[in-house]
Amino acid sequence: MKIYTRSGDDGSTGRLFGGRVAKDDTGPEANGAVDEAVSALGVARSIADGPLAASLLKLQRQLFVVGAELATGAENRSKLVDEVSRVTAAMVEGLEPAIDEVADAVGMPTVFIVPGDHPLSAALDQARAVIRRAERRAITHNRAAGIADSQTVPYLNRLADYVYMLARAAESTWTPSREE
């Protein structure tokens, strides 16, 4: 099997559960931003170690769920599987205690943050910015596709908050108490 199929040479891409759309359609745009977020978290994970690295890997895997949902046409949403190809409210809510744990340990910043004080915090700040872009693209896609029941936007919103706090923690000596 070869990596290239030539099926996208016409500017289209395949959707999960079938069908094709233009590569610059709102779904592939959103999914591409999520893919960038996975990679940005991978850069951060390559610098991290221990429980933080494990937490980042879990987040990367959860972003695959986001990507699967965004890669599915509205007509096939009934085929999505919770926490495999559909983001759930439980996934969103699951990030909140993790955010609170970091905030309780390192405190909320009281000044504007200029990224770059530490390689890991800078990588996490970059990942957060990419996640925010993915959130904006998901909003555009869900609106354009008439999807009102998706948890992708709340998940990405909460994830950006969590990664922001992880960046603040990376500037300190804090590490997660458990694999998130």
Domains of the chain (ranges; CATH) run 12-170 (1.20.1200.10)
User: How many Å apart are CA 133 and CA 23, to the nearest integer?
Assistant: 17
Q: Give pLDDT, residue 3.
A: 87
53-101 pLDDT, tens digit per residue, is 999 999 999 999 999 999 999 999 999 999 999 999 999 999 999 999 9
137-164 pLDDT, tens digit per residue, is 999 999 999 999 999 999 999 999 999 9
Average pLDDT for the chain = 93
Q: Give pLDDT, residue 109.
A: 85
- Residue 139 burial by Cβ neighbours in a 10 Å radius (0-12, 13-18, 19+): middle
Q: Look up the pTM and report it.
A: 0.92
Count other Cβ atoms within 10 Å, centred on residue 144.
14
